């Protein structure tokens, strides 16, 4: 008798996703996440167990060729020798060049930051708003509050000059003195914050420039050729290389 096979695809019973209201309690772990975490945990535990067994069965007096060059301290603990590999002049110069490239990149980043802060609108100077009229008669009858559609107390403002429809509220006109004071405090706070950022960026850029200068001099000193050390009146040290004829 032929075996009956149910070929209709079964319904996939998926786990429910975590509610957004419970996201503050952390990620909701699914069964597949638990299986991966458990497999990783057991793998690490097996590796630790194997290492412990290997250390337990190790004979400290067993001979190996490297023990003739090893040294121990007063407590019998092996003293590990540091890597005493000596780099060539070209290799050392390459490492210093990579370091100075990183310093130069950071200095350019700070320079761009300084330029961006200095060009910001928070450091704009005072200016004038010129309005051109058709005739002298129009000039005499010109009223700036009507032209800008604002209150007389806001005519002198170059920024945040609100219109009359913006000044209207449910209870009538808003208190202009309080509004100007709040806007001025906010603007002063932003200016102070940007000014402090600018000061920090300038100090860091100056420090990186000094480090880059020192590293560039050290790289130049590693070059071949006869050089002469020169100390000026201010105590700064310079090196002058002997002129060589190029082929």
Residue 34's pLDDT band (cuts 50, 70, 90) = very high
- For residue 36, name the pLDDT band (cuts at 50, 70, 90): very high
What is the rounded average pLDDT of the residues 69-80? 81
CB–CB of 113/196 below 8 Å? no
Predicted confidence (pLDDT) at residue 81 exceeds the cutoff of 90? no
Q: Does residue 79 contact residue 73 with C-beta atoms inside 8 Å?
A: yes
CA distances to 152, 177, 209 from 168, in Å? 15, 15, 54
- Residue holding tokens 């190029």? 246
183 within 8 A of 175, measured Cβ to Cβ: no
Which of helix, strand or coil describes residue 130? Answer: coil
């Amino acid at each position: 008798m032929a075996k009956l096979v149910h070929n209709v695809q079964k319904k996939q019973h998926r786990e429910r996703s975590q509610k957004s209201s419970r996201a503050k309690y952390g990620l909701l772990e699914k069964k597949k996440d638990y299986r991966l975490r458990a497999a990783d945990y057991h793998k690490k535990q097996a590796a630790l167990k194997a290492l412990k067994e290997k250390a337990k069965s190790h004979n400290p007096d067993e001979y190996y060729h490297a023990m003739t060059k090893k040294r121990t301290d007063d407590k019998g603990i092996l003293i590990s020798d540091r890597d005493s590999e000596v780099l060539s002049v070209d290799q050392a110069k390459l490492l210093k060049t990579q370091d100075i490239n990183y310093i130069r990149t950071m200095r350019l980043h700070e320079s761009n930051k300084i330029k961006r802060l200095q060009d910001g609108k928070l450091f704009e100077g005072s200016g004038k708003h010129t309005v051109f009229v058709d005739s002298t008669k129009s000039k005499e009858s010109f009223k700036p509050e009507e032209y800008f559609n604002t209150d007389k107390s806001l005519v002198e403002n170059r920024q945040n000059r609100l219109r009359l429809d913006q000044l209207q509220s449910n209870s009538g006109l808003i208190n202009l003195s309080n509004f100007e004071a709040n806007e001025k405090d906010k603007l002063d706070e932003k200016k102070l914050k940007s000014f402090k950022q600018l000061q920090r960026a300038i100090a860091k850029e100056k420090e990186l420039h000094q480090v880059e200068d020192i590293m560039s001099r050290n790289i130049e000193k590693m070059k071949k050729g006869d050089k002469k050390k020169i100390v000026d009146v201010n105590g700064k040290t310079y090196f002058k290389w002997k002129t060589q004829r190029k082929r």
